[in-house]
Amino acid sequence: MKEIDYSKYYWQDKKIRLRPTTVYDWEEFYYNYFDNSARFFLDSLIELPLTREEAKEVWTKFIENQANGFINFTIETHNGINVGSANLHGIDERNGTFGGGMQIGREFRGKGYGTRAMSIILDYAFNERRLHKYSAYIIEGNIASESMLKKLGCIEEGIKRDMVYHQGRYWNEIHYGLLADEFKLIK
């Protein structure tokens, strides 16, 4: 197979590249599954443990959801190291709204990979799909995601109090939004 020339590839910046997520990416999901605090911030729950086989099955079903409005990406360094995954979801073409999510592997957090990936995805949503508003929420205490949303230019739009129960107490959801004309691509 010929070497791929990425010089004109849209889905990248100077540090990371996005590629389609495949069923073969299940192992990174499985390793991240054991980071329960990160999984809580991602899905607002504590999940039951999975075997390797169950993880493959859950991941495969997740990938198959692309037909249901999810566009999934694997985030890689330019050297091909898988650092996490990101997605575009909840696309409402009529109203021009959408959401997105991601998980970065524990050893790769705090290096800007997630912010860069989401910047590429937002550029696509706003400047190729003509979508108008990105909406996201975090669980209180998710400092990393809060920081990323603010770097992307998102504005805090409100707090839904006591929305998630975890560790014997209720947690707030903090909602953010970003309009197309507020977006600036991170380079």
In a domain, 7, yes or no: no
Question: Does any domain span residue 161?
Answer: yes
| Spatial distance between the Cα atoms of 7 and 166, rounded to a whole number of angstroms | 46
What is the model's pLDDT at position 67? 62
The CA-to-CA distance between both ends of the chain, in Å, stands at 31
Task: Write phi, then psi, for 99 (nearest 5 degrees).
Answer: -130, 180
* Residue-level pLDDT at 147: 96
pLDDT at 68: 65
10 inside domain: no
In a domain, 4, yes or no: no
Q: What pLDDT is attached to residue 32?
A: 78
Is 9 in a helix, a strand, or coil?
A: coil
Amino acid (1-letter code) at residue 39 = R
Residue 65 covered by a domain: yes
Divide the 187 residues of the chain into consecutive groups of 10 and give the mean pLDDT of each group. 93 97 85 78 78 89 74 95 94 95 92 97 97 96 95 98 94 97 90
- Identify the pLDDT of residue 51: 92
Annotate 68-95 with three-state secondary structure. Answer: HCCEEEEEEECCCCEEEEEEEEEEECCC
User: Which residue range is the domain that position 136 belongs to?
Assistant: 16-182
Predicted pLDDT at 11: 98
Q: Provide the CA 12 distance to its chain's centre, in angstroms.
A: 15
SS (H, E, C) the chain: CCCCCCCCCCCECCCEEEEECCHHHHHHHHHHCCCHHHHHHHHCCCCCCCCHHHHHHHHHHHHHHHHHCCEEEEEEECCCCEEEEEEEEEEECCCCEEEEEEEECHHHCCCCHHHHHHHHHHHHHHHCCCCCEEEEEEECCCHHHHHHHHHCCCEEEEEEEEEEEECCEEEEEEEEEEEHHHCCCCC
- CATH of residue 141's domain is 3.40.630.30
Number of structural domains (the chain) is 1
In a domain, 1, yes or no: no
Domain presence at residue 9 = no
Relative to beta strand 133-139, strand 97-104 is parallel
Distance CA 157, CA 150 (A): 12
Query: For residue 36, what pLDDT is reported?
Result: 78
Instruction: Tell me whether residue 123 is in a domain.
Output: yes
Three-state SS at 38: helix
Check residue 47 and give its pLDDT. Answer: 80
